Structure 1
Amino acid sequence: MSKPSILFILTSQKSMSNGDPTGWYLPELAHPYHVLSPVASITVASPHGGEAPLDPSSAAAFSSDEISSTFLRDHSSVYKTTVPISSLLGKASSFAAIFFVGGHGPMYDLSSDPSSLSLVREFAEAGKVVAAVCHGPAGLLNVTLEDGKYLLDGEEVTGFSNEEEKLAGAQDKVPYSLEDELRKRGAKYVKAEEAWGEKVVVARGGKLITGENPASSLAIGEAIKRAIGA
């Protein structure tokens, strides 16, 4: 029996509004990859293709995390050889799920990338699993469905909170508040009882899965695994 296929989406954005380096956040790729790579075939894409930028602060913060350090040592090709998102348009039927890795980068490019928005719509309307963690839900903000409604409208969703952004010292560096924008799209925003707590939300009949923060990275991998029956 062949493995299901999952599409991971990474940002191509290298810097924040103030010039600080950014990109995708290490455990938010490493942990789901650790859970899903044994049971699924994984394709990794980004807006530009090629090497997707790793947020250097995440590599430093998680240098003692075994799963993250093993990923960097053994699986660097995963993020250094991404395919352009545009090359996957029309191919949602080949995958069981699409997953947006977090980091501040997605707030800049994935929230407005036309190919990414079209691809998510494809997945959603084909009944595929759509998932995102931390700032990854930025890639879902502007996705509209055939009826013109936002994908997130009326759905319970989580993502990096205003409180966590403030505690991270990034509230003045980001282009917008992810929590506020999720609410503006009609999402029913929820979060963990305490900042940095693990929180994964499953909505849209099991087809929409979101995680709040880095601490939710392993759990969202497990949730995706359950959702695709792997």
Structure 2
Amino acid sequence: MKKILLVLTSVSELGDTGEKTGYNVAEAAHPWKVFKDSGHFVDFASIKGGVPPRDEVDTSDPIQVAFTEDETTKAGLYNTARVDVVDPSQYDAVYLVGGHGTMWDFPDSEGLQKLVASVYNAGGVVGAVCHGPAGLLNVELENGLRLVEGKRVAAFTNDEEVAADKDKIVPFFLADRLEEQGATHVSAGVFEEKVIVDERLVTGQNPASAGGVAKEMEKLLAEVIHQEKAEEQDESEALRAEKDAEKAAAAAAAESDH
């Protein structure tokens, strides 16, 4: 079992429009189910802590309904930790949930940048979907490179921003900004699923891609678990061989005494 941190926006309004926003419930719920069904432990954090604002729940989606009604999840969302006080060493993966609010508070959060960098530097998995990749901006790794530099990524596209009628509201186009920081933005058609895996970074284009991002993260985590088990077995076999050698040496010494 691995520990995965889901990070949510704390922004509840689209700029100064008065229009409500928050984290996208589908983009939290579908990965939550994938991780939970795999036996992993899911935790929550947000930029400012406390109760994060959320977008509308689609009650026709049983996974969103289950997410909002799950008692453990409700308790976790009632008082999320602030990203800048989270201990990154406690988590094997971090997943950045989208929602338009992330465009305002993810890119300039030093706490989030440090958290993402720490998890990735330690060999962990980083995932993000839709507007969540806004939290990958300005993340610098210990090798001095930006996390997205030279990597293929998916994120909400310019065309999707226009289709959602938010192109005049958002502070910038996410796909363009990712490319400015050295990423190669890869996209499917408007609102079509697209998931990109590059090393230990998994990104998705839109809400339809959220479950797919989690499944690819799960595959990477399964590889880590398999490797850890193999290392444990090697250590066990080495220890057994050492003990057998000690017994053989003791037996030989006892035989020579006779």
Q: Same fold (TM over 0.5)?
A: yes
How far apart are the structure 1 equivalents of 2:165 and 2:23?
17
1:196 to 191, 198, 208: 191
Q: Judging by fraction of residues, say which structure has more helix.
A: 2
User: How far 1:10 moved relative to its partner?
Assistant: 0.5
1:37-48 aligned at under 5 Å gives the runs 37-38=36-37, 39-48=39-48
1:221 to 214, 218, 233: 214
User: How far 1:71 moved relative to its partner?
Assistant: 1.4
Matched, 1:27 2:23: no
Matched, 1:122 2:138: no
User: How far 1:11 moved relative to its partner?
Assistant: 0.6
> Which residue identity does 2:77 align to in structure 1?
Y
How far apart are the structure 1 equivalents of 2:75 and 2:134?
25
1:56-71 aligned at under 5 Å gives the runs 56=56, 59=57, 62-71=58-67
Partner of 1:50: 50
User: How far 1:96 moved relative to its partner?
Assistant: 1.2
SS in structure 2 at match of 1:131: strand
> Which residue identity does 2:117 align to in structure 1?
R
Percent identity of equivalent pairs = 38
Q: 8 Å contact 1:92–1:126 — kept in the other structure?
A: no
**TM-score, length-scaled by structure 2:** 0.81
1:84 to 73, 82, 85: 82
Coordinate RMSD, CA, aligned: 1.3
Deviations, residues 177-229 of structure 1 (Å, cap 9, x unaligned): 0011011011010011x2111111000x2x10001100011111111111111
Partner of 1:113: 109
User: How far 1:99 moved relative to its partner?
Assistant: 0.5
How far apart are the structure 1 equivalents of 2:128 and 2:76?
18
How far apart are the structure 2 equivalents of 1:98 and 1:41?
12
Q: Which has the higher contact order (CA 8 A, sep 6+)?
A: 1
1:82-161 aligned at under 5 Å gives the runs 82-88=80-86, 91-161=87-157
Partner of 1:164: 160
> Which residue identity does 2:113 align to in structure 1?
L
How far apart are the structure 1 equivalents of 2:178 and 2:18?
25
**Tell me, which stretches of 5 or more residues in structure 1 are unaligned?**
none
**TM-score, length-scaled by structure 1:** 0.91
Q: 8 Å contact 2:23–2:98 — kept in the other structure?
A: yes
**Paired residue total:** 219
Deviations, residues 89-109 of structure 1 (Å, cap 9, x unaligned): xx3232110100000111111
How far apart are the structure 1 equivalents of 2:13 and 2:151?
31
Q: Mark the structure with the bigger radius of gyration.
A: 2
**Tell me, which stretches of 5 or more residues in structure 2 are unaligned?**
226-258
User: How far 1:80 moved relative to its partner?
Assistant: 2.3
